[in-house]
Amino acid sequence: MGKIITFANQKGGVGKTTSAVNVAASLGILGKKVLIADLDPQGNSTSGVGIAKKSLKNTTAEILMGNIKATDAIIKTKFENLSIIPANISLAGSELDLFSIEHGERCLKNALDEVKEEYDYIIIDCPPSLGMLTLNSLVASDGVIVPMQCEFYALEGLSQLMITIGKIKQQYNPSLFVCGILVTMYNGRLVLSMQVISELKKHYSDKLFKTTVSRNVRLSEAPGFGMPVYYHDKHSKGSAEYLEVARELIERI
């Protein structure tokens, strides 16, 4: 049975979607069958694998509302071993509707349980908030990866997120665990970066991914071409780093 991994952080601009898409693609390159579930109304994971958002009829919004099954929304991408359940702005309305549904926090779990055995990994990309969509993701997941930048405000947000994950584990999903903390937009020449890494090692040494993801031009360009960085430039630093993160994830879960 496949493992469901959520990429979550309540802070925006931390490389969450970039990491979700590129780790998913890297797992596919390593021979794993992977499904991305885009749970962000911005739909950046969807456009990041080359799918136009406007023309979509079957999305995560329809799945959450129980209008269709997960299998009806899955699209095979042109990338190796990689499929996606896409999202667009219609998902924003669904988040409000979930509050009126009994056990609304379990809608995604119920939907993904039907396809979980068909994939090695299901990667969920969350919105940058701790609302009902993110709650659905964490309730459905086996593990969570927290992407974060090398800055001190990110450290404060991380401690808050860890408390929230602990509460969700206690109330809704006893098997949930933190797969790892992934440092993104890393610049080893900055003293601040080294200080933040040092703090992370003090408090979360067992959770910290050995691989850090550097600031990288090719990594920034790739979404504009609708492709993961490996397919944009497989010789780039970003491509190599995300492949290493994927290998480490396979070892961790």
Beta strands in the chain, from DSSP E residues, in sequence order? 3-7, 34-38, 75-76, 82-85, 121-125, 143-149, 177-184
Give the C-alpha separation, 91 to 136, whole Å: 13
Rounded distance between C-alpha atoms, residue 105 and residue 130, angstroms: 12
Task: Answer whether 18's CB lies under 8 Å from 218's CB.
Answer: no
- Six-digit token string for 108: 């995604």
* Residue in this structure with the two tokens 């799945």, named with its chain if needed: 63
CA distances from 227 to 24, 25, 140, 211 (A): 12, 9, 26, 22
Sketch out the chain's domains with CATH numbers. 3-252 (3.40.50.300)
Tokens of 29: 């390159």
Residue 132 · residue 98 · CB < 8 Å:
yes
Residue 208 DSSP one-character state = B
Nearest CA among 44, 62, 55 for reference residue 128: 44
pTM of the model: 0.94
pLDDT for the residue 48: 96
pLDDT (tens, 9 = 90+) of the chain, 253 residues, equals 789 999 998 877 788 999 999 999 999 999 999 999 999 999 999 999 999 988 898 999 999 999 999 999 999 999 999 999 999 999 988 888 888 888 999 999 999 999 999 999 999 999 988 889 999 999 999 999 999 887 777 777 788 889 999 999 999 999 999 999 999 988 777 777 788 888 888 888 889 999 999 988 999 999 999 999 999 999 999 999 999 999 999 998 8
Per DSSP, the three-state class of 21 is: helix
CA gyration radius, the chain: 17
User: How far is Cα of residue 237 from the mean position of the Cα atoms in its chain?
Assistant: 20
Element of type H or E holding 96: helix 90-98
CA 174 centroid distance within chain:
20
**34-38/3-7 β-pairing:** unpaired
Query: Tokens 């379990």 label which residue?
Result: 106
d(CA 243, CA 64): 31
* C-beta of residue 112 within 8 angstroms of C-beta of residue 122: yes
